[in-house]
Amino acid sequence: MQLKDGATVYTADGQTVGSIDRVVIDPRTDEVTHIVVRQGFFFTEDKVVPTDLIDVATEEEVRLRADVEDLDDLPRFEERYYIPPEDFSGAEGEMGYPVGYARPYYWYPPVGAAGLGYYGGAYGYPTAPYVTHTVLNIPEGTIALQEGARVISADGKEVGNVEEVVTDANIERATHLLITEGWLFTEKRLIPVDWIKDVAEDEIRLAVSSRTLEQVPEYQP
């Protein structure tokens, strides 16, 4: 199956909920754990959807096993917390919250901030009394691969960008990456994930040289 950035995501009853924004991969096992669905008609914010909710995935669309009402409790991709600077250490605690975290605020400025002596902004709001801390709601150790992540060969050449993540039939493991044309390629190439050395959100580094990649045949859908 293919998980392509921008593919439309539908519920089991045919409702459009958004489109694929990222694919979440565990680089240690090549396991595809989730997709991040960009906000759309039903989602007012980006949501993290586990792959076991996916029924069918093609280049153009993803169909889920759930209806709209079953998706209400899915976590947001990003959670933002506003923390007093004196309580923020930058270290991570349990559940990904920073050490010293007391309670999350989902608006700004936090209620009661003016009463704490933080003034100076417009309408009496504080200028910047709180530190913004963002937590990604994805499993520990996984990477939320960005659309168009750069692909770098072992000899340091930028060979293209990721267009799709191809998985096995059960959408449990990534098997290949579809690479769009770049400095080296003038057409699309399908490369095995076994060639990946390191993965970051915006970049993939390969363990093979550009010469090896040139021998990969052009992708024929």
Integer Cα distance of 17 and 42 in angstroms: 5
Integer Cα distance of 121 and 44 in angstroms: 29
Residues 6+ apart with CB under 8 A from 128: none
Q: Give mean pLDDT, residues 10-38.
A: 90
Note the pTM of the prediction, 2 decimals.
0.69
Integer Cα distance of 147 and 121 in angstroms: 37
41 found inside a domain: yes
130 found inside a domain: yes
55 and 15 fall within a common domain: yes
**Rounded percentage of the chain residues whose pLDDT exceeds 70:** 71
Kindly list the distances between the CA atom of residue 114 and the CA atoms of 103, 130, 164, 168, in Å, as whole numbers in the listed order. Answer: 18, 12, 48, 54
153 and 197 fall within a common domain: yes
220 found inside a domain: no
Task: Find the CATH number of the domain harbouring 180.
Answer: 2.30.30.240
167 and 209 fall within a common domain: yes
pLDDT in tens, 142-159: 989 887 899 999 999 998
Beta-bridge partner residues of 31: 26, 173
Q: Identity (one letter) of the amino acid at 214?
A: E
Which among 34, 55, 71 is the end of a domain?
A: 71
Q: In terms of residues, how long is the chain?
A: 221
Integer Cα distance of 5 and 29 in angstroms: 21
Which structural domain range is residue 20 located in? 2-71
pLDDT of res. 83: 56
Instruction: Count up the domains in the chain and report the number.
Output: 3
149 and 204 fall within a common domain: yes
Comparing 9-18, 45-54, 125-134, the range with the smallest average pLDDT is 125-134
221 found inside a domain: no
Residues 6+ apart with CB under 8 A from 99: 89, 91, 92, 93
193 found inside a domain: yes
Integer Cα distance of 110 and 83 in angstroms: 9
128 and 148 fall within a common domain: no
Statement: residue 135 has pLDDT above 60:
yes
182 found inside a domain: yes
Which among 40, 71, 102 is the end of a domain?
A: 71
Work out the number of other CB atoms within 10 angstroms of the CB of residue 183: 11
**DSSP letter at 42?**
S
